[in-house]
Structure 1
Amino acid sequence: MLQARSDPRGGRLVGAAFRPHNHETMNFSSRLFDRIRIGPSEAEEVVEADARLCDHPGCTKAGEFRAPMGRGKEGKFFQFCLEHVKAYNATYNYFAGMNDEALAAYAKQEEIGHRPTWKLGVNASAARMAQRGRVTGGQDSAEVEDAFGLFRGRVRREQERAESRVGAVARKALETLDLDDTADRAAIKARYKELVKRFHPDANGGDRSREGRLQEILKAYQTLKSSGLA
């Protein structure tokens, strides 16, 4: 309550400080509350109720930016704020934990667009008959008897042409790895690891501009492994 006292200079009553009793409550409808402001340094960022929060543990900012969850979770994404999506992208490595065989398998799948494939088998009995010069087909196909080996020369030439085609592909793969025909298995593997480390985004500060070159290296190494050179 307001207490009054006399002013010896003018005889007026001067109001003392207002001291509310414990049982009195503050008037929240007062206009004084309209003038209360919170400084920017004290204000916390408020996220709308329908907005998704950043997936970084402990972060209360809005998760406005998507980031891939990684290998094995293709098509799924984290939601981060700007600060944490930058940090995530700087350390993201799709190939983390993959050994040479896994990298080669990925490169092979990359060639076919990661579509399922079926391995083409060879009929053992047909192969034996071809070696003896006799090929037997189905109901609508002709049977060829070559007991004197009249067609073996042509078959051998066709095999040599097929081998030369494989050689040309392998030679091109060696050139991709900056190697020549004299490179052995150890040299190929060493150069492959060297180039992967050189062109991997992690070795270039997260720069993905060289990923095209990295894919060429992966495909070349898979080709050399398929041909038995690596």
Structure 2
Amino acid sequence: MKLDSPLFDRIRVKPDKDRRFQASAPTCEWAGCDQPATHRAPKGRDREGQFWRYCFDHVRQYNQSYNYFAGMKDDAVAAYQKDAMTGHRPTWKMGSNNTGGTKRFREAEPHEGMADPFGVFGEMGGRARPEAEPARESRMIRNAERKALETLGVEMSATAEEIKTRFKVLVKKYHPDVNGGDISTEDRLRDVIQAYNYLKSAGFC
């Protein structure tokens, strides 16, 4: 966009206050320095929230030598680092309260026989419950397949062998040659054959 555009002044974001350095800013607190204090630096351990005000050169020099753990013993540093893992918040052993480690679960004993598949509550008497048997895969039966099974007169859970056996029985029952040439059962035989062929194409037999 051109800087002399009449639209430029309308869309330009103007700060609500002047953020430029003011001459009245405090001076650097480094000994013997009279430069403006443009940066803050933490004062150190046990003085959290308090800061020194330094110029750019002196805050950089201060940060290079800053050590939060200066003067602390090794075991105190290790304890601090361990507490830092939980954000310096108090923690208790699982199953214990914050008044002395008494296990509340032992008083009411609700853990007896409770499911503990991962062994988390083993020390409190929890027992691992045997895993349940995986559910059998159930095939979703569509309406056309359901109708074909009903035509053959077999259950929804019928095996392929049961369907084939039932089909042979019905063919012998409704075939005209078996009924002395009677063609009144031809329609029924046709339905049986179509139902069996459909189930066969669908993978049921």
TM-score range, shorter chain: 0.3 to 0.5
Normalising by the residue count of structure 1, what TM-score does the alignment of the two structures yield? 0.33
Normalising by the residue count of structure 2, what TM-score does the alignment of the two structures yield? 0.36
Q: Which has the higher helix share?
A: 1
Q: Which has the higher contact order (CA 8 A, sep 6+)?
A: 1
Q: For the pair shown, which has the larger CA radius of gyration, 1 or 2?
A: 2
